[in-house]
Amino acid sequence: MVTPGRSTLTVKLFRDLWRLRGQAVAIALVIAAGVGTMVMAVGLIGSLEATRNAYYDRYRFADVFAPLVRAPETLMAQVRLIPGVATAESRITTRATLDVPQVAEPVTARVHSLPLARAESLNQMVLRAGRLPDPRHPEEVVANAAFVKAAGIVIGDRVRAVLYGKQVELRLVGSVLSPEYVYVLTAGQIFPDDRRSAILWMGREPLAAALDLNQAFNDVLVRLAPGARPGEVERQLDLLLAPYGGVGAYSREQQISDRFVRDEVDQLSTMAKLLPPIFLLVAAFLLNIVLARLVDTEREVIGLLKAFGFPVRGILLHYVQLAVLLSLGGLVLGIALGAWLGRGMAGIYQRFFTFPFLEFRIDTNAYLLAVAATLIPVVLGAATAVWRSARLSPADAMRPEAPADYSSRAAGWLAGALGPDEPSRIIMRGLLRRPLRSALTVLGLAAATMLYVASASPTASIRRMIDLGFDLADRSDLTVTFAEPRDARALHELERIPGVLHVQPFRAVGARLHARHHEVRETLAGVAPGAGLWRLIDIEGRPASTAPAGAVLAGRTAHQLGVGVGDSITAAVTEGARPTLQLQVAAVLDSPFGSAASLDRTGLNRLLREGDTLSGAYLQVDAAALPRLYARLTDSPMVAGISSRRAMLRTMNETIEQNFAIQTVFYVGLAMLVVIGVVYNSARISLSERARDLASLRVLGFRRSEVAFILLGEQALLVLLALPPGIWAGIELWRFLIGQFSTELFTIPFEIDPRVLARGVLIVAAAAAGTAFLIRRRVDQLDLVRALKTRE
């Protein structure tokens, strides 16, 4: 026998594609959502990591940092001899308060001496505008570009500053970027406030003169040799710098800017692993249903093909090709969508993380991953759908399937109980006819609803986190931080300032917390008991208090240390007299953000053996006196930082609107594509299955509206059945994602906005209603003669 050519199957292939074009578009949209999310996330991960690594390497970002009080420059020779140290440099670092005319509130600044002008210098800068300071002009400085732009200052402007109690006038001569400050944060912040936080660099000699550090330094930068162990180098640095007030060396992984970048990469990895598979599984499910329906209606075609000599392998290949072609459009669209979304997100990250460059790139592995994740389930699904009919003999395949049997008492009772009239009973019998397909359709609609709810929920949780931190926990107007610990006289001085209504002191010291073989570098906070301006709260917003003895640990810190209530931890204080404290865990408190360990301030001072000291204070002030109050605090030589709670709230809300809202729109839009694709395919498949039944009802005298009710009522019932599990699954998915997105620096509270759930229901209902309109038109235009033809 001559094997038939492939031209016949090729013609059939393209006819089937044209006939299924509506469903193909819906499937392509769902596939595009999954592929687009995957390409965007994988591309962003690769782009962020490549950009970070290139930036760090090109501008020689340090591996280890070691702040201290004061050491002679001659000590650096010993630092460079530590095994594992490739390069080491000293520098001078301090905090300052700036009076910028364009900014109402005082600006908190961190000031560094300029890196040495040589190729091997560490933490080099990228000059964005202007020039570097001239050594002959000690007043000249450069500032981080984000602050220059946000504060509205220009090259040549003069700024008054208080440097360690000395008032100086500085002149801006350039704006720069630094690998050390990709993400600029000050104490108490989770989002950058570029308008009120500045990083300055100036000549080493004038900065040393202001701080009385001539031929001395108070900060060490280290670049490690290949294969060096950071922990051992840190230990050796601590031993060497301890007599000079070293506060504890720490690695790049503990540096605040790099921690935020790494956390963002980890969150993107979670998204890439979780959301795209859900999109693609839903798409594979839709495609499998479409092909299963097509194969069922073409049983006799398959039988004829086998009778005419077409091999089973060729028939299988034909339907696999159809499945691949149906998904190919979604794959191409998804790659294009992912590249477009990736470039848009890269623009957001470029504003959020101040890289000198961030080009969104997709490597070959991302494309291969997208192709494999799309085509493997599609091919397997197509083969599964075809194999059952392809195994039949030609005679069996050309014989119509036996009609569904509704004679069982259970099915009849269920249809009659749930359907009060004949159209309703027909709907119920239709759902019972294919229970698995009905269940899978409900599952697909529930997955679409789940994706929308989970995608639209982050904003509510982040706003709740801000409310907890800045409405319930911190109820002060200003937070004042001293350059170094002060005694109780500083508290009385603050209370006497005109416009200050109430003062709450706090004490904070750096420490290394140890438990068994675990260690974290965190802050011990001394909290005034029973105070009202700042208080401990848990993740639910309930107030808590410190114990007279013992420490209250943040939940994330307790988890890192592997301890619970009643356990003991060791706190090695890294400043002052450096005592080693034995603390009992009095409570474990899950809070949005704050100190890792909180103690009663009086008890902490007693343990530190330093008397009644404070690191700063929370102030409640008269709003009318703020300008005079700012001037008074800025002029104070011991005030290192002033932050306004209202200004921080305003900045955070702006950040949410500008960045998180855009990201939410991206993910919500993708979820809506899934909703539309699932609803449309479900209705079209049901119409193709029920066309003959609906035409028979029309011939028997049913009106068009009654016939449409049978089809659309079935879809409405499926949507109603899908909404509760979809909403529940979306809530649980967001609960899971919160655990992945929370970091060592903050904990996102679980919060669901009822409006998100309502919008989810409305979007699914709107998608179903729009599909119902299209399907209703097809029902009204049903060709009764063609639909009533019976397969012989």
CA distance 676 to 672: 6
Confidence category of residue 190, pLDDT binned at 50, 70, 90: low
Report pLDDT digits (tens) over 469-493.
888 888 888 888 887 888 888 888 8
CA distance 792 to 789: 9
Average pLDDT over residues 730-735: 89
Is 203 domain-assigned? yes
pLDDT at residue 667 tops 60: yes
The residue from 621, 644, 677 where one domain ends is 621
Average pLDDT over residues 155-182: 88
C-beta neighbour count of 557 within 10 angstroms = 23
pLDDT at residue 439 tops 80: no
Please tell me the predicted confidence (pLDDT) of residue 724: 92
Is 89 domain-assigned? yes
Flag the least confident range among 31-40, 437-446, 576-585, 745-754: 437-446
More confident residue, 381 or 232: 232
* CA distances to 131, 398, 676 from 407, in Å: 89, 26, 36
Is 738 domain-assigned? no
pLDDT at residue 250 tops 60: yes
The residue from 208, 226, 259 where one domain ends is 259
pLDDT at residue 134 tops 50: yes
Please tell me the predicted confidence (pLDDT) of residue 591: 77
Is 186 domain-assigned? yes
- Count the domains in the chain: 2
Per the CB < 8 A criterion, the answer to whether 455 and 578 are in contact is no
The residue from 259, 293, 320 where one domain ends is 259
* CA distances to 167, 274, 501, 502, 619 from 478, in Å: 22, 42, 11, 11, 5
Confidence category of residue 396, pLDDT binned at 50, 70, 90: low
Q: For residue 128, count CB atoms less than 10 angstroms from its CB and return exposed for 0-12, middle for 13-18, buried for 19 or more.
A: middle
pLDDT at residue 385 tops 70: no
Average pLDDT over residues 561-583: 85
Confidence category of residue 296, pLDDT binned at 50, 70, 90: low
Per the CB < 8 A criterion, the answer to whether 103 and 151 are in contact is yes
Confidence category of residue 780, pLDDT binned at 50, 70, 90: low
pLDDT at residue 400 tops 60: no
Report pLDDT digits (tens) over 680-695.
777 777 666 666 666 6
Q: Please, what is the average pLDDT of the chain?
A: 79
Q: Which domain holds residue 148?
A: 59-259
Average pLDDT over residues 121-150: 91
Is 101 domain-assigned? yes
Flag the least confident range among 359-368, 732-741, 783-792: 783-792
Highest mean pLDDT among 100-109, 222-231, 549-558: 222-231
Is 644 domain-assigned? no
Sheet holding 64-72, edge to edge: 85-91, 216-224, 64-72, 250-251
CA distance 714 to 18: 27
Is 8 domain-assigned? no
Average pLDDT over residues 355-378: 80
Per the CB < 8 A criterion, the answer to whether 507 and 611 are in contact is no
Is 642 domain-assigned? no
pLDDT at residue 611 tops 70: yes
pLDDT at residue 3 tops 50: no
Highest mean pLDDT among 23-32, 191-200, 317-326: 191-200
